[in-house]
Structure 1
Amino acid sequence: MEMLEQITPDTITGPLVSQLSGWVEAGIAALPRVGFAILVLLVTWFVSWGLKSLIRRIGHKTYLRRNLIDVLRLLVGTALWLTGSLIALTIVFPTITPGRALTTLGLGSVAIGFAFKDTFENFLAGILILLREPFQIDDHVECDGAEGQVEAITIRDTHIRQTDGQLVVVPNAQLFHNAVTVRTDKAFRRTAIMVGVAYGEDVDNARGVIADAVRDVDMVRDDVRDIQVFAKSFGASSIDFEVTWWTGSAPVDIRASRDKVVAAIKRALDDAEIEIPFPYRTLTVNGPLPVRAVSDAAE
């Protein structure tokens, strides 16, 4: 009972009020430091904005790659904000020295790195892709099943628009670790088809007819490299020719030129009366087959 009588509202609220008063006084005393820290952050923002704008203008004047300009602006902005944040932190909390802050930041970075390993891997891969620039915007690429036109390259991922209109967002780490085929790295690339003529036809004559037909197609760039027609193999019903030519590197150029080449070769072979054979089948029977005559009346 005596202990209960000693517990009064004053014994509870007194220390609490005293503690709150101490916090308020400490907050009021820290207001100048907080204000100065905010000023440092504002200056950091202004300097970061100015330097990034300067990098963009200089990059445009010196014709630097757009991806390289973006990387430089990102690195400069990150470095300035890290420095400004450390300065502001040491101003608000004077007991925290830059060395302690960097140590704490390093330990925290290790923990965050393990938690977001894939995210940081994509981030670093994105920076390396932007710096090396193995492919550019509007290039047609293929990597690990994703194929299409590159629409955007960000720090984390790359946007690829497939030929059927679907958008594929590919993590940069996938593009960095796997082989990437850049189909539009050059303005022209080679394509090929197979053409078969009957065994009874003259091979040299057929080769000449096919070559002349391909050269007459307007989408075939024989000024880049001449077309090639080679007798490749003995097929089941025909002598097979491999026909190769150069055309635009975009997928639509490949499809369009193949359409015109096939039509031109078919037309030329028909005009020269060179047979394009259907598949033949020869049936061999081990024993004699019975033959029975059927009269018209029986029918």
Structure 2
Amino acid sequence: MNYIATLRDQVQAMATGFVAALPSIAIALIVLVITWIVARFAVKIADMLVGRTEIRPNLKALTDTVVKLAIWLIGIMIAAIVVMPGLTPAALFTGLGIGAVAIGFAFQDIFENFLAGVLIMLREKMRIGDIIECEGITGKVEKITLRETHVRRLSGELTIVPNSMIFKNPVEILTDEIKRRHEVVVGVSYDTNLDHAADVIRRSVESVDGLEPDRGVDIFAQEFNSSSVDFLVRWWAGSTPRAGWESKDKVVRAIKAGLDAAEIEIPFPYVTHTFKERVPLSQSTDSAD
């Protein structure tokens, strides 16, 4: 058997088949180019239509992706049928189904993040610009894609979070409302009249600018501490972390000034220290022996 001649015949047959398929390949490439152009125009048209509505930015991005993906799937199917005339849409869908199962097992995490991204975009909560806290990550949502969410930490670092983590775990949205409640603990000495101290604290907090007066101020005697009776002071102010820090700074300063003016003592915490008796090294060595 002449192996070289057989190989030569096979190569020639493949070359002949490739040359014969060149027109179909060229048409398929033209179809792909047309698909690319149509996808771009379709996205622009979708943007124009969506722009007339009050749709959220993340849903707008999802709409663009779905439109582009649908057009590309149709274009690739037409190009495949042009190159392989014996390929029918039914057979193509069957092959895509089997391939999707195999790819799904191989890229499970990727598809999980993709589906989580779609569901996150469909949510009404957690929009771009919100400050969230999830699994120890606190920051501002800058971007939501189909695979990941970009969170800018309060200290400036950018954290790229997989969508599946945000979808599976509880997410605290700090800026869901314009105002939220803040609190601080204030201690007064045991010889203080608690009603008088609570009244002084209330007047001090209510004098601070920038708080939410309609929500009021809560003053609760909370517990007997080691050197003081502690009050829990709660008020409403801006929901962003900076607004909370600024309001807390003003409230603490006002309470301190009010208690000083009323001559109400804020005691130092009573700390007990335990001292161990020092034993000379020689003595400890002898006792060990």
1:9-158 aligned within 5 A: 14-158=5-149
Report the alpha carbon displacement of residue 16 of structure 1 after superposing the two structures with TM.
4.2
Give the counterpart letter for 2:234 in structure 1.
T
Partners of 2:181 and 2:234 within 8 A in 1: yes
Conserved? CA contact 2:139–2:151, under 8 Å: yes
Deviation at 1:280, TM superposition (A): 5.1
Greater displacement, 28-37 / 205-214:
28-37
Question: Are residues 1:265 and 2:264 paired?
Answer: no
C-alpha distance after superposition, 1:59-88 (max 9, x if no partner) = 112232111111111111111111111111
Match of 2:195 in 1: 204
| Structure 1, 32-41 or 245-254: larger mean CA deviation | 32-41
- 1:79-135 CA-to-partner distances (Å, cap 9, x unmatched) read 111111111111111122221121111111111110110110001100110111420
Superposed displacement of residue 189, structure 1:
0.5
Contact (CA 8 Å) 2:139, 2:152: kept in 1 or not?
Answer: yes
1-side partners of 2:7 and 2:103: how far apart? Answer: 37
Of 137, 156, 164, which aligns to 1:173? 164
The residue matched to 2:159 in structure 1 has which SS?
strand
Name the CA shift for 1:281/1:101 in 2 (closer, same or farther; >3 Å).
Answer: closer
- Structure 2 counterpart SS, 1:194: strand
TM-score by length of 2: 0.88
- Aligned-residue sequence identity (percent) comes to 45
**Cα distance in 1 for residues equivalent to 2:225 and 2:47:** 61
1: CA distance, partners of 2:30 / 2:241: 55
Deviation per CA, 1:183-216, whole angstroms, max 9, x where unpaired? 0100110011111112222222111111111111
TM-score by length of 1: 0.85
Q: 1:91 to 1:272 in 2, by over 3 A?
A: same
Aligned Cα root-mean-square deviation (Å) = 1.9
Rg larger for: 1
> Which 4+ residue blocks in structure 1 deviate beyond 6 angstroms?
none
Contact 2:58 2:128 (C-alpha < 8 Å) held by counterparts: no
Separation of aligned partners in 2, 1:49 and 1:184 = 35
Between 119-128 and 149-158, the greater mean CA deviation after superposition: 149-158
Q: Describe the SS at the equivalent of 1:80.
A: helix
Q: Which amino acid aligns with 2:96?
A: L
Q: d(CA) in 2 for partners of 1:77 and 1:280? A: 67
Q: Determine the C-alpha separation between the residues in 1 that align with 2:52 and 2:271.
A: 70
Give unpaired runs (5+ residues) of structure 2.
273-289
C-alpha distance in structure 2 between counterparts of 1:47 and 1:281, whole Å: 74
Structure 1's unaligned 5+ residue stretches are: 1-6, 283-299
In structure 2, what is the Cα distance between the partners aligned to 1:267 and 1:13?
101
Q: Distance in 2 between matches of 1:141 and 1:71?
A: 21
- Matches of 1:272 and 1:149 in 2, distance apart? 42
Aligned length: 272
Q: C-alpha separation between the residues in 2 aligned to 1:115 and 1:52? A: 30
